């Protein structure tokens, strides 16, 4: 075992750190893509996405032929660590870069790769995923949004929900039913849809935080050229799974934001006084802080095992499937701890917002219950339920 | 970045697993339930011959010169087999202390299997939290006091006792020594009370020298607990696949499947922290080793017993019988909750480092 990073990774760290110091605009420090987005902020974040891309720090893992630098896993981890350390927002086009691009690289035609990847990389065109529907959440394969072939076009009708950045997106990776007669998983296709097309209506969803990071999309007789088909006709399920597998890979660096949150909580408890002493001097609160720290550090330990498995090219262990669950449990625990440590103050400002936002963590990207089903059957080998 | 054991370490694991399966399977463990020593001359001799007993002791003192990663491999396997006996107390705790104190002759005797030693830190009437401030009394090289929860005290013939601001070596056959077993519900781990009355002792060095040994025992217990929790999980998963109720294996019910998934989550999270701690104990500085020990021991104490209790729940009534092996792991993990400082103690240690101090809090 050796938990140190190799010297090349530390050299890369130094260069990223220097670049961020020189290039991160002061007004973007501390902003996250999740914050209340305004058109003005979106514009700033798109410019930042472009700056990152032009320096080779967006889509870093992409092959060089598509504008990436085929970076190693450890370089990607170092970049994420340094971005977190500098409180730099990630690329606003994260859904496109992390989830949709790999699906296009795997299943796209030469023309699709040529047309979409570079503008995606630079954030010139923002992408969203059109997967979930009002009646297809955890049971994604029961989608009903339809695409009927008509001449050289598909004609799309239906509704999508929970489209991250939908309000600002230009393009959508849309999952549609192309063959209603086929079995559930076998009549689905994937289309790359221009959201400026006539018949598309985008409506923001106001979440329980009051934020508008998600939207719902309505399609009424939207004509999409047949050339927009990604992957085989009626073979969209595997394209969707490829997209989601990258979403799950993204959880590997979630410990960074969680550890940052805990560090902020601890720093706050050190400085804020109650009854003439810092909160962090109270024996009960100290234990709570240590517990939050312990949970967050264990996320890092799990991530290190997954990272190591990837570097050593071992068969991935259960860490990857567990990371999402551990993350949502940890976020939940830390939100509760923040309440016990801060008292009423935990219900306002940044901490208050976080304690509300945390409800998303066990739902978005696969509910904890679905995750446990997957772990029980695929990792533990328990029989499938009815 | 490599979070995995080496091929040699994997071989060591295989050989320990084979040894325990052949010589000390669960039936053997059950046979020792009421045995105050928790081992037999035969098994301890065999473990000495395998190089396990002197694993941490350098080669020039007759040991193997391995590190905590190797000791961790052994401990995880011992935990999986709910193994009693003084490996952790003597080969990890006492050996680490003797090496830190440069007590070479004692270390040599340990490696040779001629002597079994253990740390006696906790004074009667006090908790583990104050191990650094012993109340046992010392006057002119003679000790008087009572130490409780002495790990494998009944198997030991040498006690490393804290008194004043020092560590002392006390032989079991010295005048004024009394050792009494502290029976608990857990027949897979042993504790004893050590009473000293004007007992002659050999000065070994300052208490500070024990920090590393204390951390190593904490890490060792966490890794042992990882092994025990894994064993409980494996039994529960097998049972859930084969036990049929309402016409289907009970593992097909989500209430059971989700419980099992949560147990796996606990085990794998604990594993990641425990293996990191093994590495830190070998390679990192004292502060980082202490941080890792506190993290993994607090996690183990707070979480592993839940895996065993959920396993019993999955077994239903049969899990409550003496015949089914689950109670061995449940009791071992129940004991782990409080042994060598519960999660409260280790969380307080963590708070000292990360709330007051500056340990890796980025």
A301 and B CB contact within 8 Å: yes
Please compute the mean of the pLDDT values over residues A339-367 and round it to a whole number. 93
Per the prediction, chain A carries an average pLDDT of: 93
pLDDT digits (tens, 9 = 90+) for A49-107: 999 999 999 999 899 999 899 998 899 999 999 999 999 999 999 999 999 999 999 99
Residue A386: is its pLDDT beyond 70? no
Is residue A33 over pLDDT 80?
A: no
Quick one: average pLDDT of B85-98? 98
Q: Mind telling me how many Å the CA of A178 is from chain B's nearest CA?
A: 33
| Residue B305 burial by Cβ neighbours in a 10 Å radius (0-12, 13-18, 19+) | buried
Min distance A21 CA to chain B CA atoms (Å): 17
* Chain A residues 70-89 within an 8 A CB cutoff of chain B: 74, 85
Q: For chain B, give the percent of residues with pLDDT over 90.
A: 98
Burial of B29 (0-12, 13-18, 19+ CB in 10 A): buried
Q: Which of B262, B275, B362 lies at the smallest CB-CB distance from A263? A: B362
- Give mean pLDDT, residues B155-171: 97
Give the CA distances from residue B231 to residues A7, A373, B41, B253, B264, in Å, rounded to whole numbers and listed in that order.
39, 22, 26, 22, 11
pLDDT of B112 over the 70 cut: yes
pLDDT in tens, B309-322: 999 999 999 999 99
Chain B residue numbers touching A314 (CB-CB < 8 A) = 4
The predicted structure's pLDDT at residue B361: 45
B262 to A2: CB separation less than 8 angstroms, yes or no: no
Taking CA–CA distances from A85, the nearest residue in chain B reads: B362
Nearest residue in chain A measured CA to CA from B265: A322
Minimal C-alpha gap between B123 and chain A (Å)? 23
Picking from B351, B356, B358 by the largest number of A CB atoms within 10 A of its own CB, the best residue to mutate is B351
Contacts of A283 in chain B (CB under 8 A): 348
**Higher pLDDT pick, A33 / A376:** A376
Residue with tokens 């529960």: B236
Cα A43 from Cα B219, distance rounded (Å): 51
Confidence of residue A315 (pLDDT cuts 50, 70, 90): confident
Q: What share of chain A is helix, strand, coil (3-state, %, to 5)?
A: 55, 15, 30
Give the nearest partner residue to B268 out of A6, A318, A382, using CB atoms.
Answer: A318
pLDDT at position A25 is 96
Residue A14 touches partner B, C-beta closer than 8 Å: no
Of the candidates B145, B177, B169, B171, the one whose C-alpha atom is nearest the C-alpha of residue B157 is B171
Q: Would the pLDDT of B46 be above 70?
A: yes
Chain B residues inside the 8 Å CB shell of A294: 295, 298-299, 347, 350
Q: Say whether pLDDT at A248 is over 70.
A: no
CA dihedral B65, B68, B69, B75 (to 10 degrees): 110
pLDDT category at B268 given cuts 50, 70, 90 is very high
Beta carbons of B262 and A288 less than 8 angstroms apart: no
Least reliable range by pLDDT among A34-38, A87-91, A307-311, B151-155? A34-38
Residue A243 has a pLDDT of 82
Tokens 């023309």 correspond to what residue?
A111
Contact B152, B86 (CB under 8 A): yes
CB B44 within 8 A of CB B116: yes
Take residue A263 and report the two structure tokens written for it.
Answer: 């560090």
Averaged over A233-247, what is the pLDDT?
A: 87
Residues A122-139, mean pLDDT to the nearest whole number: 95
- Give the pLDDT band of residue B123 (cuts 50, 70, 90): very high
| Active site amino acids of A | 247
pLDDT bracket for residue A245 (50, 70, 90): confident
What pLDDT band is residue A253 in, cutting at 50, 70 and 90?
confident
- Output the average pLDDT for chain B: 97
pLDDT at position A251 over 80: no
Task: Tell me whether residues B299 and A294 touch, CB distance under 8 A.
Answer: yes
Chain A residues with CB-CB distance to B256 below 8 A? 382
* pLDDT more than 70, % of chain A: 97
| CA B41, B47, B50, B52 torsion-angle sign | negative
pLDDT at B362: 46
- The verdict on pTM exceeding 0.80 is yes
From the list A233, A122, A119, the residue with the least C-alpha distance to A187 is A233
- The helix/strand/coil state of A221 is strand
Average pLDDT over residues B60-71: 98
Q: What pLDDT is stored for residue B242 in this prediction?
A: 97
**Helix, strand, coil abundance in chain B, percent, nearest 5:** 55, 15, 30
Contact between B269 and A298 using a beta-carbon 8 Å cutoff? yes
Measure the CA–CA gap between A380 and B239, rounded to whole angstroms. 12
Query: Of the ranges A130-134, A210-214, B69-73, B100-104, which one carries the lowest mean pLDDT score?
Result: A210-214
Model confidence pLDDT, tens digit, residues B285-307: 999 999 999 999 999 999 999 99
- Considering only CB atoms, which chain A residues are within 8 Å of B347? 286-287, 290-291, 294
B298 and A381 within 8 Å at the Cβ level: the answer is no
Residues on chain B touching A311 (C-beta within 8 angstroms): 1-2
- Mean pLDDT of all residues in A284-307: 96
Asked if the Cβ–Cβ distance from B348 to A286 is below 8 Å, we say yes
What is the arithmetic mean of pLDDT over A151-168? 96
Q: How confident is the model at residue A247 (pLDDT cuts 50, 70, 90)?
A: low
Cα dist. B258→A169, A248, B265 in Å? Answer: 37, 20, 10
- Provide the pLDDT confidence category of residue A250 given band limits of 50, 70 and 90: low
Nearest CA distance, A382 vs chain B (angstrom): 6
């Amino acid at each position: 075992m050796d938990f140190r990073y190799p010297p090349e990774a530390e050299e890369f760290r130094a260069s990223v750190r220097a670049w961020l110091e020189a290039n991160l605009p002061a007004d973007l420090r501390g902003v996250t893509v999740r914050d209340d987005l305004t058109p003005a902020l979106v514009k700033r974040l798109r410019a930042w996405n472009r700056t990152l891309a032009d320096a080779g720090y967006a889509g870093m893992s992409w092959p060089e032929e598509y504008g990436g630098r085929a970076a190693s896993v450890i370089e990607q981890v170092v970049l994420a660590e340094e971005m977190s350390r500098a409180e730099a927002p990630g690329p606003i086009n994260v859904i496109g870069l992390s989830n949709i691009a790999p699906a296009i690289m795997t299943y796209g035609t030469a023309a699709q790769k040529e047309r979409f990847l570079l503008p995606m990389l630079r954030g010139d065109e923002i992408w969203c995923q059109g997967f979930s529907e009002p009646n297809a959440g955890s049971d994604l394969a029961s989608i009903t949004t339809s695409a009927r072939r008509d001449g050289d076009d598909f004609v799309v009708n239906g509704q999508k929900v929970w489209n991250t950045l939908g309000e600002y997106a230009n393009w959508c990776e849309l999952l549609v039913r192309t063959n209603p007669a086929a079995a559930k998983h076998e009549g689905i296709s994937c289309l790359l849809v221009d959201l400026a097309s006539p018949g598309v209506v985008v409506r923001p969803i106001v979440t329980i935080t009051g934020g508008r990071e998600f939207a719902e999309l309505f399609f009424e007789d939207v004509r999409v050229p047949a050339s927009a088909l990604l992957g085989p006709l009626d073979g969209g399920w595997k394209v969707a799974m490829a997209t989601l597998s990258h979403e799950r890979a993204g959880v590997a660096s979630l410990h960074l934001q969680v550890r940052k949150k805990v560090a902020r909580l601890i720093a706050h408890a050190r400085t804020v006084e109650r009854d003439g002493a810092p909160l962090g001097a109270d024996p009960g609160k100290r234990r709570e802080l240590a517990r939050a720290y312990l949970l967050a550090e264990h996320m890092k330990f799990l991530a290190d095992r997954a990272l190591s498995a990837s570097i050593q090219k071992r068969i991935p262990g259960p860490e990857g499937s567990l990371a999402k669950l551990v993350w949502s449990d940890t976020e939940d625990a830390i939100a509760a701890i923040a309440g016990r440590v801060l008292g009423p103050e935990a219900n306002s400002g940044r901490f208050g917002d976080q304690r509300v936002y945390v409800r998303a963590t066990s739902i978005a990207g696969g509910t904890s219950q679905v995750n446990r089903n997957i772990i029980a059957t695929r990792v533990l080998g328990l029989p499938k339920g009815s | 970045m490599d979070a995995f054991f080496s091929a040699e370490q994997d071989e060591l694991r295989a050989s320990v697993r084979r040894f325990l399966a052949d010589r000390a399977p669960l039936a053997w463990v059950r046979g020792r339930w009421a045995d105050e020593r928790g081992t037999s001359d035969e098994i301890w001799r065999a473990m000495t011959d395998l190089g396990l007993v002197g694993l941490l002791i350098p080669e020039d003192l007759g040991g193997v010169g391995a590190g905590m990663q190797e000791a961790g491999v052994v401990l995880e396997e011992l935990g999986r087999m709910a193994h009693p006996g003084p490996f952790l107390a003597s080969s990890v705790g006492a050996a680490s202390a003797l090496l830190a104190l440069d007590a070479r002759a004692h270390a040599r005797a340990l490696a040779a299997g001629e002597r079994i030693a253990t740390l006696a830190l906790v004074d009667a009437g006090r908790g583990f939290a104050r191990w650094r401030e012993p109340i046992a009394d010392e006057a002119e090289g003679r000790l008087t006091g009572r130490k409780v929860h002495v790990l494998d005290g009944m198997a030991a013939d040498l006690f490393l006792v804290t008194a004043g601001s020092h560590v002392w070596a006390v032989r079991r056959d010295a005048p004024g020594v009394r050792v009494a077993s502290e029976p608990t519900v857990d027949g897979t781990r042993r504790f004893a009370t050590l009473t000293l009355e004007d007992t002659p002792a050999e000065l070994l060095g300052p208490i500070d020298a024990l920090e590393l040994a204390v951390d190593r025992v904490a890490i060792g217990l966490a890794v042992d607990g990882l092994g025990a929790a894994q064993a409980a999980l494996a039994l529960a998963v097998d049972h859930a696949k084969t036990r049929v109720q309402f016409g289907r294996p009970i593992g097909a019910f989500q209430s059971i499947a989700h419980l099992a998934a949560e147990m796996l989550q606990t085990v794998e999270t604990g594993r990641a922290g425990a293996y990191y701690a093994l590495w830190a104990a070998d390679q990192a500085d004292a502060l980082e080793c202490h941080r890792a020990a506190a993290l993994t021991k607090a996690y183990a104490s707070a979480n592993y017993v839940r895996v065993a209790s959920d396993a019993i729940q999955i077994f239903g009534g049969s899990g409550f019988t003496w015949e089914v092996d689950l109670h061995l792991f449940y009791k071992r993990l129940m004991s782990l909750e409080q042994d060598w400082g519960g999660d409260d103690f280790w969380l307080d240690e963590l708070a000292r480092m990360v709330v007051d101090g500056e340990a890796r809090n980025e």
